[in-house]
Amino acid sequence: MAGAFDNVKIARKVTRPTALDYINHIFDGFTEFHGDRLFGDDKAVVGGIAWLEHRAVTVLGIQKGKTMEENIKRNFGSPNPEGYRKALRLMKQAEKFGRPIINFINTSGAYPGVGAEERGQGEAIARNLLEMAELKVPSISIIIGEGGSGGALAMAVTDRVWMLENSIYAILSPEGFASILWKDASRAKEAADVMKLTANDLLKLGVVEKVIKEARGGCQNDFGFTANLLKSKLVIEIDTLCAMPIEKLLEERYARFRAFGEFSE
């Protein structure tokens, strides 16, 4: 049986399709918008408006690069606070104009830099968690590669959270987990097995609602298959969510996150 670390390796492949690959394939007429109106434009986060078939939507993604040059521009898909603030600005805009929101998530985590700390990385993530819980439009997030901790959650407080079959979602990288808990980063493989970070484990835990199939060895081997499958499911689910009364949608979103936790009393 393949271990969870095989998923980690596939999720991190540089050839793995990125947020913009899905955005350009699934939606028509994507127009990208820039900037958080406060500090700058974080290229690790992309966002804008587009058509999902005949429905106007707001689309966001955390964007990794495929080449070194592109990765430097995208900061390897690790957003700074202005990235999360741009995402929030565009989500509030979606709320104003009644557009559903679709987020593609692929990050090893929020960027741990000096500037990020100075500009309030913690506050930026926290603000998104609070605001997204109350957005009066339907939302779906899809983890397409790495779902790295708070940096991923900051765009995943949505009505539905889905994962691609080989993507991962965790509190920390398995290397970091092993080095914190066992003081030994080389035990990452073992950590990956314990952490329940695979799509199927997280489906069982109820952290995600749906797992999207990938071709053998990962979706880079047949991008069209996964992207088309995802599109068909998105069209149906967005229709379903848009048909729900907004009060019920908000109630269910609250209940979705309220339910997490295991304890006795």
Partner 1 sequence: MPKFKFPDVDTLKSRMSELKQAAQKDKKPEEEAIPSTSIKCPSCENVFDKKELGMLKICPKCARYFRLNSKERIRLVADEGSFEELDSTLNAKNPLNFPDYEEKIAKMQEKTGLKDAVVTGVCTIGGEKAVLGVMDSGFMMASMGSVVGEKLTRAFEYATENKLPIIIFACSGGARMQEGIVSLMQMAKVSAAAAKHSKAGLLYITVLTDPTTGGVTASFAMLGDIIVSEPKALIGFAGRRVVEGTIKQKLPDEFQTAEFQLEHGFVDIIVTREEMPIKLRDILRIHSGRKDGAR
Closest CB 76 distance from partner 1, rounded Å: 11
72 binds partner 1 (CB under 8 A): no
149 binds partner 1 (CB under 8 A): yes
- Indicate the SS3 state at residue 176: helix
Binds partner 1 by CB under 8 A, chosen from 44, 105, 157, 241: 157
Binds partner 1 by CB under 8 A, chosen from 14, 68, 96, 122: 122
Binds partner 1 by CB under 8 A, chosen from 125, 144, 212, 234: 125
Closest CB 95 distance from partner 1, rounded Å: 14
Q: What are phi and psi of 47, to 5 degrees?
A: -165, 160
Task: Give CA–CA dist 241/219, Å, rounded.
Answer: 27
Convert 49-84 to b/e letters by CB count within 10 Å (16 or more is b): bbebeeeebbbbbbbbbeeeeebeebbbbbbbbbbb
The region of 22-30, 49-57, 99-107, 112-120 touching partner 1 under the rule CB under 8 A is 112-120
**Positive/negative CA dihedral, 17, 29, 33, 229:** negative
Selection from 171, 141, 121 nearest residue 253 by Cα = 141
185 binds partner 1 (CB under 8 A): no
142 binds partner 1 (CB under 8 A): no
Q: Residue 67 or 264: which CB sits closer to partner 1?
A: 264
